[in-house]
Every structure is written in C-alpha cells, then in structure tokens.
C-alpha cells in the first residue's frame, strides 16, 4: 500500500453534458490558456460559471494546479467568494470581504466545506494565510469527514514556509486525521519533505506516532528510499 498522500482538496468533476460551459471547464482543467481566453472573449460570463457541485473556474484552475489559467481568469475580474480568493491568493479581495464581515475568516460554506485558511495553506498563499490568522482564523479547524487541517493541507502541498507560519500560530503538530491513520510527521515522511520534517520535529512532533497498521514515519521514509528524511528522524530518536 502506498502512503503517498493525496492532496486534501481533490479536483472536481465537471458535468459531462456537452455545452459551452463544459468545454470551457475542460480547457481550464487542461491548462489551455489560449482556449480559455477564446471562450472568455466569446462569453465573458463564463468566468463566473459553476459546475454541478458549485465549483467556479477559479476553484477548478486552483485545484488542478493551472496557475497560468488562473492568472488569465483573474484578468477578467471574476466575482470571487472569500474561498475562491483564498485559493487564488488574491489578498486584496480576501481583505475586502473579511474586513466587511470578520466571520468569513472561519466560513466553511465553500462547496467542499473547507475554510479560507485551509484552502490558502494548501495552495501556499502565505500572505493570505498570515492575514487570515491575524483576523482570527482557526488554525486547528478539522474538516468533519477527513480531519484535514490547514497544517495537513500545507504539508500535502509541500509549502514549508506556510507550515512554519501555522506552527508559530499554534497549529497542532500531532493532529491525527483520516480515521486516526496519519499525523503531520507521517505525512511529511511519506512525501519526502526534509525541511517540513525539521519544522515539525522542532515543534514537538511525536516520532513514535504510527499508522493504523503500525508503520512509523521512519518506516515509511526507509521503505520509500527517502534517505535524508530517515536520517533526520533517526537523529531525533525515531525507530522503525
């Protein structure tokens, strides 16, 4: 069984019905900037289109890692929610919305139920992360079904700078999630993230934590051939 962690914010599925909206979302997913521009020139309202599950083009582009498409769509001035602006890293829009209603810093009404901080952390939008924390965002909010937090999102995205900020703000370094199977340290070890491993250990991560089938962070690092991570863990007293 592979312990390479999936990202906590999964790409959305766009309806299969053949329509302009469907073809537009397909171009967004594929990262086809030219096609996206062509569609928007034909119908600028597509920038605010929605999938059946309520996801916007901004969200789809962010979840699929299509940064060039995302930047292109931002040129068309989409009407972004605080969640979409957090994914996009649009600090000005996030500021505008949260300053107008501070409750939005912890709002979980996004289509997938994640708050702005978790979304920004997963995408590495560090300035948005810092701002939301300053406005009272809960650094330890855990998604009900999975237990994902802003910290687990930042680790899954490989964003050491965001991990550092979250830990300084009090993120739970030994949080357990996905039915108690994983901890941040186990995740980082499986994903081969030496810098993040160091940050977690310095913050008090438990090297003795194990998966439900008894594997430690060190065990996973060794199995996956992550030599540097394994050495760091050993230096901190980890055992297989």
Question: Does residue 33 lie within any of the structural domains?
Answer: no
pLDDT at 235: 96
Supply 216's token pair: 């430690």
Instruction: Provide the number of structural domains found in the chain.
Output: 1
Q: With a cut of 60, say whether residue 149 has pLDDT above it.
A: yes
Owner of token pair 């050491």: 160
Question: Does residue 222 lie within any of the structural domains?
Answer: yes
pLDDT at 240: 81
Q: Which has more confidence, 85 or 10?
A: 85
What is the overall mean pLDDT for the chain? 91
Q: With a cut of 50, say whether residue 16 has pLDDT above it.
A: no
Q: Read off the pLDDT of residues 86-101 as tens digits, 9 standing for 90 and up.
A: 999 999 999 999 999 9
Question: Does residue 165 lie within any of the structural domains?
Answer: no
pLDDT at 180: 86
Q: Read off the pLDDT of residues 183-204 as tens digits, 9 standing for 90 and up.
A: 999 999 999 999 999 999 999 9
Does the reported pTM lie above 0.95? no
Q: With a cut of 80, say whether residue 6 has pLDDT above it.
A: no
Question: Does residue 221 lie within any of the structural domains?
Answer: yes
Q: How far apart are CA 54 and CA 83, in angstroms?
A: 12
Question: Does residue 149 lie within any of the structural domains?
Answer: no
Q: With a cut of 80, say whether residue 24 has pLDDT above it.
A: yes
CATH of the domain at 199: 1.25.40.20
Q: With a cut of 70, say whether residue 120 has pLDDT above it.
A: yes
Contacts for 183 with CB less than 8 Å, ≥ 6 apart:
174, 175, 176, 177, 205, 206, 209, 217
Determine what percent of the chain is predicted with pLDDT higher than 90: 85
Determine what percent of the chain is predicted with pLDDT higher than 70: 92
Question: Does residue 235 lie within any of the structural domains?
Answer: yes
Which of these ranges, 7-21, 121-135, 203-217, has the smallest mean pLDDT? 7-21
Question: Does residue 200 lie within any of the structural domains?
Answer: yes
- Domain of 219? 173-240
Q: Read off the pLDDT of residues 64-82 as tens digits, 9 standing for 90 and up.
A: 999 999 999 999 999 999 9
Please, what is the end-to-end C-alpha distance for the chain in angstroms? 17
For residues 57 and 14, the answer to whether their CB atoms sit within 8 Å is no
Question: Does residue 87 lie within any of the structural domains?
Answer: no
Q: With a cut of 50, say whether residue 5 has pLDDT above it.
A: no
pLDDT at 228: 97
């Amino acid at each position: 069984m592979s312990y390479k962690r999936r990202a906590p914010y999964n790409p959305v599925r766009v309806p299969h019905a053949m329509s302009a909206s469907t073809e537009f979302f397909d171009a967004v997913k594929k990262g086809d900037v030219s096609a996206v521009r062509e569609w928007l020139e034909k119908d600028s309202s597509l920038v605010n289109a929605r999938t059946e599950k309520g996801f916007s083009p901004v969200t789809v582009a962010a979840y699929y890692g299509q940064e060039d498409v995302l930047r292109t769509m931002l040129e068309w001035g989409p009407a972004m929610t605080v969640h979409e602006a957090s994914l996009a890293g649009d600090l000005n829009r996030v500021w505008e919305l949260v300053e107008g209603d501070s409750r939005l810093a912890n709002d979980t009404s996004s289509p997938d139920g994640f708050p702005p901080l978790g979304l920004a952390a997963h995408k590495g939008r560090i300035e948005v992360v810092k701002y939301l924390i300053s406005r009272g965002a809960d650094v330890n909010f855990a998604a009900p079904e999975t237990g994902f937090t802003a910290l687990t999102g930042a680790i899954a995205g490989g964003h050491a700078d965001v991990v550092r900020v979250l830990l300084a703000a009090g993120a739970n370094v030994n949080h357990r999630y996905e039915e108690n199977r994983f901890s941040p340290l186990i995740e980082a070890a499986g994903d081969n993230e030496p810098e993040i491993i160091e940050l977690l250990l310095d913050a008090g991560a438990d090297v003795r934590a194990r998966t439900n089938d008894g594997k430690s962070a060190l065990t996973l690092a060794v199995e996956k051939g992550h030599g540097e991570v394994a050495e760091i863990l050993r230096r901190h007293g980890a055992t297989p």
